[in-house]
Each structure stands twice: as structure tokens, then as C-alpha cells.
């Protein structure tokens, strides 16, 4: 793998036409390779895909897979049957070696959310990073699409906006998505090579061009403001800044903190900023308080911690990512010691990973929700994120008395589960469970279960509670006093949805 000059995007449309004609798409790959080999390819395991292409012989699609995904040489004649080979050679997509050609970059089909046929360009051998390790020793290498990239794309709010900023664009996946619903897209990166890959990704995908700016954090955009900011930054908490794609160059989690704190000044009213990040769990400090302190003035926030690793697990993950486990054993030990020394100096006992979403509300009392949710969710979650902040607005505008006068409906994806001994008259536990979005589950008491079950938008919350009070022989005034907190929780977590007052 080499960080040499990159192909020209001037005739990318011609190459795109040839790729599509050969069936070099996400669906085409699945048909050619089969599900197991296709899934292995997403883990950067190429052997099953190579075996599958042998059965296809020298068909154009098989030749393209060998070239751009498996880094294999292909006979000139076979490449010429699949794409305009002289154009690809002249523009730098391929290089010639005798009677064979090789790809100079990885080009990977990627299916857009509405069935678009997109292509992500990245350095050879770097289509997917993460726990498998890309094995790169080069600082300026540019990765393709990995799990973090698709996670961020899935949680991003996709309403039409005037302007979007992809900060730390890498190979351009977030800019590509943003181009579907933003009039103007700006992409920045501290690595100029990443911006050139973004240019290739957009051109190969037939997407609108983006404004490409070099620099760190918000420096390239000055005082500009945006309706949407997204970033999958180099958030790894590491001793130093050895690898540009992952190491932010600031101590501890300062890069993520700085990114979040500065985002507020670059958001337009009502705008969203959405990031992935790592944060330290520091001895003697509540990690939730740490993250709350990052939220800029005038912004609501929803922060979800998806995973936590102790410092040894974390160090081992990223040592493998950088290929350090393949180096001299003494060098590996020294690097491991450096990571642990860094954590010890910062009194870091573990590291959290998750999502941070800001919304510029300029509210007098901002809503800041920080929670841990390591359980499976259903992507995409953009609509779920929008609904979360809409519910926060609703709850902020309704005191307890207003809640009791309001009407609610049980969300369509919620079911009730009862747990208890067989034959028992009453269940030991009643659980409300969502089957979509965050897929939350919450235990409720008898009153909560009865309340949620009756909510269909036809009766106010207060009238429902009065009826329940009569059934359970409880003072309705007492029940009205103690229930609004539970209603707030059910609304906040999406089990209940505010409903319009029924027609008189």
C-alpha cells in the first residue's frame, strides 16, 4: 500500500458507467460472491471472495472484483472487457505491469439508503478498519467504510437542509449521504489525501461536488454556521498521534470534548450536530457529569454510551488496529506500556464509546440526556433522533398539570410482556418493550401498565388515572400527584406519544 498520487476524477463518470454496466454494485457483489463470502469481504477477509471469483472465470464482474477489492492483477484483455482500460490507466486508476494491470486504489460498491449505487474510494487494503487491523504503518492512510462510518450515517437526521458540514471526512461517506438532502455540503480533513479520496468517492457515485477544505476541527470554516454537522473524528485515546485516521493528537478525550464544545457556535438555530466519540471514565468522577460538561450553551443534547472497555481491552484493540501485534515483540510490549502509562497518568480506568447529538434550541433550560444503552437497536435511527428531541420540547412545555390534561397514545411498536409463575393470579413483572428504533424495555407497575394499555388518544391522562384509581381503590388525588413522573419517563423514552385532543 502506498500513499502516492491519486487518480484524476475528471473522467470518473465514464468509469462509473462501465462499473454499473458490469454489475459492480452491492447487489451484484452479493449475487456473485454469495452471502458468506460477501460478509467476509466486509471483515477484510478476501480468501472466500477470491475462491468465488474463480468459479466466475474472466467475466467482467469477476475481473473488477479481483482488481478493486482483492488487489489481484488482471490480464489487460480481461480488464479491457470490463472498463475503458486506457482511460483508467491514463487517469491513474490502474497501473500496467507487462500484460497485466493492477488497481491503484480500492473502489468498493456501497448501496445508498434509497437504492443508490455508490462507490467508496480508499487506500488499497484499507476498505475496513477496526478490530481486524488494517496492518498499515503509514500515517496518512485513508480508510474506507467501516462499522463506525455506517453507524454515524444511520443515526444522522435526514431532513432537507441548506448546508451540511462533514468534519474529518476521510473517504467521504458522510458527505455522500449529506448530498442527498443538503443544498450545500462542505467537507474538511486535516489530511489533504482524504479530501482527494472524497472527491473520487463523490465523482464515482454521481453525487454533487462538495466544498473541500483542509484543516483541523472548525478552523477551515471560520465563523460559518450550518444546519447539520456530522463527524466521525479520530477519537481514539492514545499516547501520541501516530496514525492520522484514528489519533486526534490531543491528550485523553480532549479532541472529542473540543469538537463538541465548539460545535454550538457553528450551528444555526434548530440545527443538529452528530458525532461518534470516545471518552474517559476517570477515577472518582461520574462519566455522565463529564459529558454533560461538554455540552455548549444553547444546545440540547442526547448522549448514548454504547460500549465500555477497560484500559487493557482498549489498548489491545487499537494496537491490533495499527498492526502493532505483527511487529517485534519487544516493540509491541513497549507500545502497550506506553498506552497503560498514559491511562495511569490520567487516572483513566475505562473508556466509553457512543453517540453525541446536539441540537441548537437556545432554550432557557436545555434538555441534556446522558444514558447507557448497550443493547441492540434498529438502524437507521435518524427519525428516532428527531422524535427524541420533539418529545423533549413537548415535556419542556408541559408541567405536571398540563400533562394530566393531555392526551396520549401507545406507540405502535410497543408490546406488553408479563412475567410470573405459571398459574399465578398476578404477574411478578410487567414490561413494556419496543420493537423498533432504540428497542427499549421498561418495567412498569400495575398502574403504569393499565395506564399505557388504555392510552389510545380518546381520554386525557387525568381521566384515565381517575378511572384506574376507582378500580384499585386508591385516592385519585394521590394517584394524580405521584403519576406525572412516570408519564414523563414513558413519553421521554418513546413508549407514549402525545396525541391531539379529540374533536368535541
- What is the rounded average pLDDT of the residues 255-284? 97
Average pLDDT, the chain: 93
Q: What is the pLDDT of residue 138?
A: 62
Cell digits for 122? 480508499
Q: What is the pLDDT of residue 132?
A: 35
- Alpha carbon 272 to its chain's center: 14
Terminal Cα distance for the chain, rounded: 71
Inter-residue contact 274 to 280 (CB < 8 Å): no
Q: What is the pLDDT of residue 135?
A: 47
Cell digits for 415? 408490546
List residues bridging with 350 in a β-sheet. Answer: 281, 310
Nearest-CA neighbor of 468 among 484, 446, 501? 446
Q: What is the pLDDT of residue 248?
A: 73
Q: Which residue has the cell 515483540?
A: 329
| Number of Cβ atoms within 10 Å of the Cβ of 240 | 12
Percent of the chain with pLDDT over 90: 83
Inter-residue contact 162 to 186 (CB < 8 Å): no
Q: pLDDT tens for residues 425-434?
A: 677 789 999 9
Cell digits for 428? 411478578
* Cβ-based neighbours of 254, under 8 Å, separated by 6 or more: 248
**φ, ψ for residue 261 (rounded to 5)?**
-65, -35
3-state secondary structure 103-167: ECCEEEEEECCCCCEEEEEECCCCCCCCCCCCCCCCCCCCCCCCHHHHHHHHHCCCCCEEEEEEE
Q: Which residue has the cell 473524528?
A: 233
pLDDT class of 399 with cuts at 50, 70, 90: very high
Report the predicted TM-score, pTM, of the whole model to 2 decimal places: 0.94
- What is the rounded average pLDDT of the residues 270-291? 97
pLDDT class of 504 with cuts at 50, 70, 90: low
DSSP state, residue 68: I
| Lowest model confidence (mean pLDDT) among 217-231, 322-336, 391-405 | 322-336
Q: What is the pLDDT of residue 245?
A: 75
Inter-residue contact 263 to 256 (CB < 8 Å): no
Inter-residue contact 103 to 94 (CB < 8 Å): yes
User: Does residue 134 have a pLDDT over 70?
Assistant: no
Helix axes 446-454, 461-472, angle to 10 degrees: 130
Q: pLDDT tens for residues 415-427?
A: 999 887 787 667 7
- What is the rounded average pLDDT of the residues 17-30? 97
Cell digits for 31? 449475487
C-alpha atoms less than 13 angstroms from C-alpha of 477 in its C-beta half-sphere: 0
Q: What is the pLDDT of residue 463?
A: 97
Percent of the chain with pLDDT over 70: 96
pLDDT class of 3 with cuts at 50, 70, 90: low
Q: Which residue has the cell 455508490?
A: 118
* Cβ-based neighbours of 462, under 8 Å, separated by 6 or more: 404, 405, 480
| Number of Cβ atoms within 10 Å of the Cβ of 62 | 23
| Lowest model confidence (mean pLDDT) among 138-147, 260-269, 417-426 | 417-426
Q: pLDDT tens for residues 183-200?
A: 999 999 999 999 999 999
Q: pLDDT tens for residues 75-129?
A: 999 999 999 999 999 999 999 999 999 999 999 999 999 999 999 999 997 765 4
pLDDT class of 133 with cuts at 50, 70, 90: very low
- What is the rounded average pLDDT of the residues 463-477? 95
- What is the rounded average pLDDT of the residues 247-270? 93
Cα–Cα distance measured from residue 10 to residue 54, given in angstroms and rounded to the nearest whole number: 33
pLDDT class of 503 with cuts at 50, 70, 90: low
Q: What is the pLDDT of residue 241?
A: 67
Strands 94-97 and 267-282: unpaired
Q: pLDDT tens for residues 322-348?
A: 777 778 899 999 999 999 999 999 999
Q: What is the pLDDT of residue 187?
A: 98
* Cβ-based neighbours of 456, under 8 Å, separated by 6 or more: 409, 410
User: Does residue 137 have a pLDDT over 60?
Assistant: no
Q: What is the pLDDT of residue 434?
A: 97
Amino acid at each position: 500500500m502506498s500513499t502516492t498520487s491519486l487518480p484524476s476524477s475528471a473522467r470518473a463518470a465514464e468509469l462509473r458507467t462501465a462499473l454499473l454496466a458490469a454489475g459492480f454494485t452491492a447487489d451484484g457483489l452479493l449475487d456473485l460472491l454469495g452471502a458468506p463470502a460477501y460478509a467476509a469481504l466486509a471483515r477484510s477477509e478476501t480468501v472466500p471472495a477470491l475462491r468465488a471469483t474463480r468459479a466466475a472465470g474472466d467475466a467482467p464482474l469477476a475481473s473488477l472484483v479481483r482488481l478493486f477489492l482483492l488487489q489481484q492483477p488482471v490480464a489487460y484483455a480481461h480488464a479491457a472487457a470490463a472498463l475503458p482500460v486506457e482511460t483508467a490507466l491514463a487517469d491513474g486508476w490502474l497501473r500496467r505491469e507487462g500484460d497485466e494491470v493492477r488497481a491503484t486504489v480500492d473502489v468498493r460498491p456501497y448501496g445508498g439508503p434509497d437504492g443508490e449505487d455508490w462507490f467508496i474510494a480508499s487506500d488499497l487494503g484499507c476498505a475496513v478498519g477496526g478490530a481486524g487491523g488494517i496492518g498499515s504503518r503509514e500515517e496518512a492512510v485513508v480508510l474506507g467504510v467501516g462499522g463506525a462510518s455506517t453507524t454515524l450515517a444511520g443515526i444522522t437526521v435526514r431532513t432537507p437542509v441548506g448546508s451540511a458540514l462533514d468534519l474529518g471526512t476521510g473517504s467521504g461517506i458522510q458527505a455522500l449521504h449529506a448530498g442527498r438532502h443538503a443544498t450545500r455540503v462542505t467537507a474538511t480533513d486535516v489530511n489533504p489525501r482524504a479530501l482527494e479520496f472524497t472527491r473520487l468517492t463523490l465523482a464515482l457515485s454521481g453525487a454533487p461536488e462538495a466544498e473541500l477544505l483542509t484543516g483541523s476541527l472548525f478552523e477551515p470554516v471560520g465563523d460559518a454556521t450550518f444546519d447539520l454537522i456530522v463527524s466521525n473524528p479520530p477519537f481514539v485515546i492514545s499516547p501520541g498521534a501516530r496514525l492520522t485516521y484514528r489519533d486526534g493528537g490531543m491528550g485523553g478525550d480532549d479532541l472529542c470534548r473540543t469538537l463538541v464544545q465548539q460545535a454550538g457556535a457553528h450551528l444555526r438555530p434548530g440545527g443538529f450536530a452528530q458525532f461518534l466519540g470516545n471518552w474517559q471514565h476517570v477515577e472518582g468522577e461520574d462519566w455522565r457529569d463529564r459529558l454533560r460538561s461538554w455540552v455548549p450553551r444553547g444546545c440540547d443534547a442526547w448522549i448514548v454510551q454504547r460500549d465500555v472497555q477497560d484500559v487493557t481491552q482498549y489498548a489491545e484493540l487499537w494496537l491490533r488496529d495499527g498492526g502493532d501485534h505483527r511487529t517485534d515483540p519487544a516493540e509491541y510490549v513497549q507500545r502497550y506500556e506506553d498506552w497503560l502509562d498514559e491511562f495511569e497518568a490520567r487516572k483513566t480506568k475505562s473508556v466509553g464509546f457512543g453517540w453525541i447529538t446536539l441540537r441548537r434550541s437556545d432554550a432557557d433550560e436545555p434538555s441534556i440526556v446522558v444514558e447507557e444503552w448497550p443493547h441492540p437497536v434498529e438502524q437507521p435511527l435518524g427519525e428516532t433522533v428527531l422524535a427524541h428531541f420533539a418529545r423533549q420540547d413537548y415535556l419542556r412545555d408541559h408541567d405536571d398539570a398540563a400533562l394530566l390534561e393531555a392526551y396520549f397514545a401507545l406507540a405502535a411498536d410497543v408490546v406488553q410482556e408479563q412475567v410470573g409463575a405459571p398459574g399465578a393470579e398476578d404477574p411478578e413483572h410487567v414490561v413494556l418493550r419496543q420493537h423498533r428504533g432504540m428497542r427499549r424495555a421498561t418495567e412498569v407497575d400495575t398502574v403504569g401498565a393499565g395506564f399505557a394499555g388504555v392510552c389510545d388518544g380518546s381520554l386525557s391522562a387525568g381521566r384515565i388515572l381517575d378511572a384506574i384509581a376507582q378500580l384499585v381503590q386508591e385516592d385519585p388525588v394521590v394517584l394524580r400527584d405521584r403519576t406525572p413522573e412516570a408519564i414523563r419517563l414513558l413519553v421521554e423514552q418513546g413508549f407514549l406519544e402525545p396525541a391531539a385532543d379529540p374533536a368535541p
